[in-house]
Each structure stands twice: as structure tokens, then as C-alpha cells.
Amino acid sequence: MKLQLTINEGMLAGRVFDLETGFLTIGRGENCSVRFDPISERIASKQHAFIEARPDGYYITDNNSTNGTIVNGSRIQKQKLSNGDTVQFGKNGVTASIRIEGDQQPALPREEFRELQLQQFEQAARATPDNLQNSMANIGLGQVVPKPEPSRTGRYIGIGITILAIVFLSLIVIGLMIVSVGPLPAVIAAVVAFTPAMLYLLPLMWLDRYDPEPLWLLALAFAWGALVAVVVSFIVNTGVGIGVAVGVGGEEGMILGDVLGAVVSAPVVEEASKGVGLLVLLIFFRRYFDDILDGIVFAGVIALGFATVENVLYYGRALGQGGLPALVLLFVLRGVLSPFAHVTFTAMTGIGVGMARESHNAFVKFLMPVIGYLGAVFLHALWNGMAVFFGLEGFLVGYLILEIPFFLLFVLFAFLIMWRQSKILKEMLAIDVARGLIPEEHAKKATSAFRSTGWLLGGIFGGKFGARSKYLRAIGSLGLSYWHIQRATAAQGQTGSFQQNPLLRDEVLKWRDKVD
């Protein structure tokens, strides 16, 4: 059987939409198969209704729309469609005619029907913008046949090389700390720097709660900042300082070398070394790097790794030169007043790289990371310049009138991006809520920053924390997988979400009844 939905009036008048298997979503939302004009046809809701193909025919379901769905003059919630029916999307809204070819034919056996769904799902992976509407309606209905496991030899080699590189660079960084500040101050400073760093990571992980990155990848990002970026920056900045000192000569040369190293070399080199880490993640771990929010999170973790090791050097020197009072003062300045300074700088690059990841425009892909990097360098130079040129008093004044307002703007932007992701989830999960895969109350919790956090923490006392954590992650990943598929299909590209989508649906079902 095949259903044909013919729009009778409005912007889509005369358009015919076919449905054989899966779903046809209808409304003003961007992801709807039948999308009404969002300005002139506002009687229809964003996610107004959907038509589902079942073994025994086609059913239309109203998706809690504001103005209702009307079939043959009667408002309905769910109804089986027949050949010749008339559907109206909201009172005085757009009408459509239903034609069902082969309406008298017996329904397909369930197994054959599921096989058809699987074929339709596999075709979605090769979808183009011309058939995007129909393919998007069928995502996640089939079960992907797992492919044979590829050889893991290359993976093990890569892991081994990475571990060796981390150990080698760790020894170099430890050596630099001991040589720079001495063994005992280095140990004390490391404890003072690394202990609160674990707390600094929590806000970033909370921002990324909808589709959290694996801990091993966050650890790798932290290691890049703490090891690679630190070693590169130390070598280059030291070389610049020595070169200027030797070139100018005398005490003036040493002073000029310190100033140029702090205000010019450090911002340029440090932000570049951290930015390269973001590009490495984008290129080699693209499946985990999805959008602007991921850019902020990865940039923040890299920056925290860098700042933590840098703090060890600063704290160690302060302890060696001025004792405990100097260490406490510096900890207040760096660990309490400005723990997210480096995060704010490098987040500019992260935002630029995230925009490049979301865009399909080659010019944007190149330009935005560059603009983000320049913004990071400017903020870093401004921060260092306040301390170098104006001392402690100037630093505090600049901190109050520049750094705090900008940091608050950065936090506001991060929350806006998080709200945007929540909005995407609500739109993408609407059909699964209407179908009953995800209870409406669960969807509201999963797409709310504070309700999801409270619900998750409440599970600690009831023994439901683990189940709720996995359930929320599965819901978030499922919603974003629809979005990834939509973007990839529109760009005639590929995404692993085609294969992951049905697995995520199974994961939602696995945990759905274990969270209450």
C-alpha cells in the first residue's frame, strides 16, 4: 500500500507527499516532512501531527497541537485513515486529501513489514535533499545488521603510541617543574593546583550533559593542554625571551624580553598550541565533535590542563621565594579569582572551530577558527598586559571592569548555546514522545537543564542514579542523532548516526522502565 497526502491550499497547495513505510511528520518545524510556512500558516503547530504506516494501514496522530487535527469534520487524537478522507490541520487551517493505493489489499505480514522498514532505513543513508523529507520520516525504524568487527591492531598501536607520548611528555613536564622550582615546592604546588582542577571540570561536564563525551577523550584533551601545549609554549616563550635579551643586551634587554614574552609571545604561542589540540580533536575524533557546545567544552578542558600545569610553576616559585603567605596570595588570585581565565581565552577558538564543524560552507570552515583564535590571543594579551604594565593594582581594576563582565558574557553565551541544544532536542524528540517511546514527563526532564540535574541527583538516594544517568544520556544522544542525520542528509554527506540511531532507541527502551 502507499498513502498520498495532497495539500489543497496554502504555500504547499498541490504538493503530494508519499508514504509507504515509516512516518510522515507534519507541522511548521524545520524537521517536519510536510512543513507549512512558519509565518503565514501559524494555525498549524510546529510539531502538529504525524502519519504512521502500520501493518494494518495508516494512522494519523495529533501531536498535542494547539488547534487540533480534524478528520472528515471531527477532531481526533488518533485515527486510522481511509481512502478519500479529508484532513484539516487546525480549525480554519490547511486541508489535505488522502488517497491510499491498494487500500483493499491485505496487510503485509509483520515480518515483511519490518523488512521493508529496514530497506527504507538503509536507503536513508544515501538520501539527497530531494528525498530528505521521506527519508527523515523513517529514521530509526529498522534494526541495523552489525558489520563484522574490523581489525583492532591499528587501534592498539595508536593507543600504545599515545601512552608512550603521554609518559614521555609527562617526564619532561615533571623535569621542568623540578628544575624550575625545586622538588619539594613542585610537589606541594602540584597538590594545590591539581586538586581544585577536578572541581573546575565539573561545570564544563554539566554543560555537555545532553550528549557527554567519553571520559577517555576528555582526559586526552586535558593531557594535550597539560603536556603538549605546555612543552611547546615553554620552549618557544623561553627562546623568545632569551633572544630579545641577548639582542638588546643588558638589564633593558631582560626586561624587554620578559614583557614581550608575556604580552606577545605567550598569547600567540599558547593559544596556538591549545588551538592545534582542538583541530586534532576535530580531525581525528570528528564523531564526538558535533557543534559549538562541544567546541566550548573541549577548549575548556584543554585550557584547564594548560592552566593547571602553569599554576604548578607559579605556585612553586611563589612558595620558594615568599613562603606560604605568597603561595596563599597567588592561589587566591589564580585559583579563586580567575580559575577560568584560560578557559575563557581558548573558548573563543573553540567557538570558532565549533561553528566550522556545524557549517557546510568552505569559507566559514576556514575563517571562523581563525577569527576565534585571534579573539583568544587578544583576550590573553589583554589579561597578561594588565599584570605586566600596571602591577597588582592595575590587575585588580582591570579584573573588575573588564574580566568579570566578559566572563559573565561568556557564561551567558554558553547558556544560550545550551538552551539552543535543548530546543533542538525538543523538536527532534517530538515524534518519539508522541509515539510513546519516551514518556512526555521524561522528555521534559531530559531537555531541562535544572530538572534533569535535580532528577539525576534525586536518584542517588533511591538507587536510581546509574539508570537515570544512562537513560538521560540515551535520550540526549538519540535526539542529537536525528539532528546529525538531518544535517548530513542536507549536505549529501554521511554520519555514524544513521547506524547509531536504532541502537540508541533500544538503549532508551532498555532503561525507560528502570528510572522511576
- Is this prediction's pTM over 0.75? no
String of DSSP letters for 350-415: HHHHHHHHH---HHHHHHHHHHHHHHHHHHHHHHHHHHHHHHHHHHHHHIIIIIHHHHHHHHHHHH
Q: Give residue 302's pLDDT.
A: 96
DSSP H or E run through 315: helix 292-331
What distances in angstroms separate CA 321 from CA 179, 180, 250, one per listed residue? 15, 12, 24
Domain ranges within the chain, ordered by starting residue: 2-136, 155-379, 436-512
Which of these, 186, 177, 280, 265, lies nearest to 225 by C-alpha position? Answer: 280
SS3 annotation, 151-162: CCHHHHHHHHHH
Task: Judge whether 67 and 75 are in contact, CB under 8 Å.
Answer: no
Contacts of 409 (CB under 8 A, 6+ apart): none
DSSP H or E run through 53: strand 49-54
Residue with cell 633572544: 243
Task: Judge whether 357 and 295 are in contact, CB under 8 Å.
Answer: yes
Q: Give residue 128's pLDDT.
A: 38
Buried b (16+ CB within 10 A) or exposed e, 356-371: bbeeeeeeeeeebbee
Fold of 2-136: Tumour Suppressor Smad4 (2.60.200)
The three cell numbers of residue 287 are: 564523531
Side-chain-side CA neighbours of 209 within 13 Å: the count stands at 23
- Would you write out the chain's pLDDT as a tens digit for each of its 516 residues? 899 999 999 889 999 999 887 778 899 887 788 989 888 899 999 889 989 888 889 999 998 889 999 999 999 999 999 999 999 999 889 999 999 987 544 444 444 444 444 444 444 444 433 343 344 444 444 444 444 555 567 666 777 787 887 888 888 888 888 888 889 999 999 999 999 998 999 999 888 877 788 889 999 999 999 999 999 998 998 888 888 888 877 777 777 878 888 889 999 999 999 999 999 999 998 878 888 999 999 999 999 999 999 999 999 999 988 899 999 989 988 888 888 889 999 999 999 999 998 887 889 999 999 999 999 999 999 888 887 887 777 777 777 777 788 888 888 988 888 888 888 888 888 878 877 889 989 999 988 888 888 898 888 888 899 899 889 988 988 888 888 777 766 665 555 566 677 788 888 999 998 988
